[in-house]
Chains A and B, each alone.
Chain A
Amino acid sequence: MKIVPAGDKFVCQLGKREKNLLFDLLKLYPCIPAARPGATKAAALPETSQRLLEEALAEQRTTNRLQIQKWLADPHRFEETETSWRFSLSGPEIEWLLQILNDVRVGSWLSLGSPDEKLELSLLNAKTAPHFWTMQLAGEFEMRLLKALEA
């Protein structure tokens, strides 16, 4: 994926297979379980705050899921060229995509059993491979978006 700043937007160019991969990743959202252990630390936290945070997160996930469906179905968003797809993203849309992709990345990592820093290839087997590659791919797209924002 190539991302080039163009005024206050970013023009993205995706290969056809890359577009399919990105779409597949976005369709996986949300990957982090709603009741992620330790997502809100109960110690010394008022019950109302904890409930509020959980509700806000649940609401956010519903909004994001609907937004993804809309985003993927928008016929005017993606323009097909001979060899690729082009589309533009605003700064807030990049932030939103980063949030979606990192949910998919962290959720896949949790599915792998939250392994430590060195994600050993020995973890790979038929059961873990989909989570492993999903995590890697989501991270790859994240890094491209971050580099574009820094450029």
Chain B
Amino acid sequence: MVETAAPEVTPGSIQEVEEKSRSGLEPGFLVICWNDPVNYMDYVTHVFQKVFGWAKKKAEFHMLQVHEQGKSVLTRESMEKAEHFVHQLQRYSLHATMESDQ
């Protein structure tokens, strides 16, 4: 990912709270974004904010995960919702996939 402005957060500086216990969840699909070094960091942050409606800090957290770890699991959804989000991310030419959360 091409570096642009310095982000306000780093991975690990915020902890995401799992609101539901895993055992209570229905079978779902993970929406994953993979690193393409060509994409600007600001661009990826912007797309995450736009597609998921996230605050900038959360979007930056996931952008940095993509940048530093090569991928980030963005959300876990039903198949239909996961398809929707993958399509939205692909419209922005981000490398997004979904896979079953088994």
CB within 8 Å of B: which residues of A? Answer: 32, 38-41, 43-46, 49, 52-53, 56-57, 60, 95, 98-99, 102-103, 105-106, 109, 114-117, 135, 139, 142-143, 146, 149
**9 other A-B residue contacts (CB within 8 Å) besides A40-B97, A106-B36, A116-B37:** A39-B95, A39-B97, A49-B82, A117-B1, A135-B38, A143-B40, A143-B42, A146-B40, A146-B43
B42 contact set on A, CB distance < 8 A: 143, 146
B4 contact set on A, CB distance < 8 A: 143
A41 touching B37 by the CB < 8 A rule?
no
Q: A103 to B43: give the CA distance in the assembly, Å.
A: 13
B: number of interface residues (CB 8 Å): 29
CB within 8 Å of A: which residues of B? Answer: 1-2, 4, 32, 34, 36-40, 42-43, 46, 50, 79, 82-83, 86-87, 90-93, 95, 97-100, 102
Instruction: From the candidates B34, B86, B93, name the one contacting A102 in the complex (CB within 8 A).
Output: B93
A109 contact set on B, CB distance < 8 A: 36, 38
Q: A10 to B94: give the CA distance in the assembly, Å.
A: 25
Q: A38 to B30: give the CA distance in the assembly, Å.
A: 16
B99 touching A43 by the CB < 8 A rule?
yes
Instruction: From the candidates B38, B79, B91, name the one contacting A99 in the complex (CB within 8 A).
Output: B91
Task: Looking at the assembled complex, report how far the CB atom of A59 sits from the nearest CB atom of chain B, in whole angstroms.
Answer: 10
Q: A14 to B61: give the CA distance in the assembly, Å.
A: 34
B34 touching A38 by the CB < 8 A rule?
yes
B86 touching A40 by the CB < 8 A rule?
yes
Q: A105 to B38: give the CA distance in the assembly, Å.
A: 8
In chain B, what residue has the closest Cβ to A135?
B38
